[in-house]
Amino acid sequence: MSSPETTTRRGRPGYDQQAVLNIAVDVFNRHGYEATSMGLLAENLGISKSAIYHHVPSKGDLLKLALDHALGGLEAVLEHSDAVSGKADERLEYVLRGTIAVLIERLPYVTLLLRLRGNTDIERDALERRRAFDHQVAALVDAARSEGSIRKDIDPRTTARLLFGTINSLVEWYRPGGPLTPEKLADDVISMIFEGLHRG
């Protein structure tokens, strides 16, 4: 088993682990994790395969680091004080805005997370963490529904799935740096969601 030092040392000059990880995530997203070999990673990095091992012990370690980065951001949203106290609909709005912010800030990483197939233990562990996140958001939807702040005539599971579907779809079409700012995007998504969910 690798030590923490093995996974964090810098390796060759000009590359640190984060730079290697950023390129690896791009390659995973373009070719698929399973179809990406260490040779393909080395080609995209412009270094030898052996040089990659100065940064990480294996391709799986790169995947785990990438998924931890995506999931860590999402889990931090749920741990924030604004997500755990106050009215349920306000907490739900905070979590949805936070989720959109993480998605945009860590777009390639969240894209990788959303495309997982669960073929390896690392992927299955990540999917389990993602399901736990989804369940907590669904519980917030149910709490807001019970509180009477959002509509009760729509099944809460349907509502939660539509929320996730809407937000997760952003990875397919949103392009950072375009005319639609992250703030405006979040405002538009929240307005669309809550104008349809709030009681009339």
Contact residues for 165 (Cβ-Cβ < 8 A; gap 6+): none
d(CA 95, CA 23): 29
d(CA 169, CA 111): 10
d(CA 42, CA 24): 9
- Identify the structural domains of the chain with CATH numbers, from first to last: 4-57 (1.10.10.60), 64-197 (1.10.357.10)
- pLDDT value at residue 15: 74
- pLDDT value at residue 138: 92
- pLDDT value at residue 14: 58
CB 171 within 8 A of CB 111: yes
Contact residues for 126 (Cβ-Cβ < 8 A; gap 6+): 67, 71, 113, 116
- pLDDT value at residue 200: 53
d(CA 123, CA 133): 15
The Cα-based distances of 147 to 2, 73, 100, 140, 150 in angstroms read: 49, 28, 24, 10, 8
CB atoms near residue 118 (< 10 Å): 12
- pLDDT value at residue 167: 94
The helix (H) or strand (E) run that includes residue 12 is none
- pLDDT value at residue 160: 87
How many helical (H) and strand (E) elements, i.e. helices and strands, does the chain have? 12, 0
> What's the predicted TM-score (pTM) here?
0.86
- pLDDT value at residue 54: 86
State the 10-residue block means of pLDDT for the chain, 200 residues long.
Answer: 41 70 96 94 91 90 97 97 95 96 96 94 97 94 92 86 92 91 93 77
- pLDDT value at residue 121: 96
For every residue of 53-81, DSSP letters joined together read: TTT-S-HHHHHHHHHHHHHHHHHHHHHSH
